[in-house]
Each structure stands twice: as C-alpha cells, then as structure tokens.
Amino acid sequence: MQSAVIFNLAVLEAKTGQHDHLRDALLALVPATRQEPGCLDYTLFELCEAPGTFCMRESFRDQEALEKHFSMPYFKDFEKRFEELLARPLQLIGLREVA
C-alpha cells in the first residue's frame, strides 16, 4: 500500500513589531527542512496585501514524514517562539491535489 503525499498550507501572522523576526525564523527553517528525506516541497510566501502574513507551502512524502518534521529540533525551537511571534495560532490547512 502506497502512502499518500501530504500537502499543507501553513498560515502564520506576525504580531505587531514581529514581522522581521517571524520572517527570519521561517527562513531559517527552509534549508534544514528541504534536506529532510520526506520533504517534497517547502516554499515560503508573504501575502502581498497583508505584509507580515506568511504562507508556507509544504508537501511531505507521507504522514510519518510530516510528523518527523514536527519533531525536528529546529522546528521545536521555532514552536517555542509561537507566543512571541504569532498574532494568532498557526493555521495548518490540509490540501488535496486535484490537478
């Protein structure tokens, strides 16, 4: 049985005054995450109409790879900063590829 690829869009909104800190923290995740064996895509975007709101387009080989990502030390370090950096909880939107 083949595992299903996991597609997500993570939406993160910076607290007032934390735009640069959140951007830098997210940028720091990118190269390490892209090296994870189960990572297929990890691309950071910022909303044009809402500076300080970032979207991470991510896909992982399967649920196990996603859970492994969440357990990585660099992600855990970032997670510890959520209260400091985020205006609201991280929104993780699951996606299903259609075409």
Cβ burial of 41 (10 Å; 0-12, 13-18, 19+) is middle
Tell me which architecture the domain covering 6-95 has in CATH: 2-Layer Sandwich (3.30)
pLDDT digits (tens, 9 = 90+) for 42-97: 999 999 999 999 999 999 999 999 999 999 999 999 999 999 999 999 999 999 98
Q: What pLDDT, on a 0 to 100 scale, did the predictor assign at position 1? A: 44
Q: How confident is the model at residue 3 (pLDDT cuts 50, 70, 90)?
A: low
Domain residue ranges in the chain? 6-95
> How far apart (Å, rounded) are the C-alpha atoms in residues 4 and 8?
13
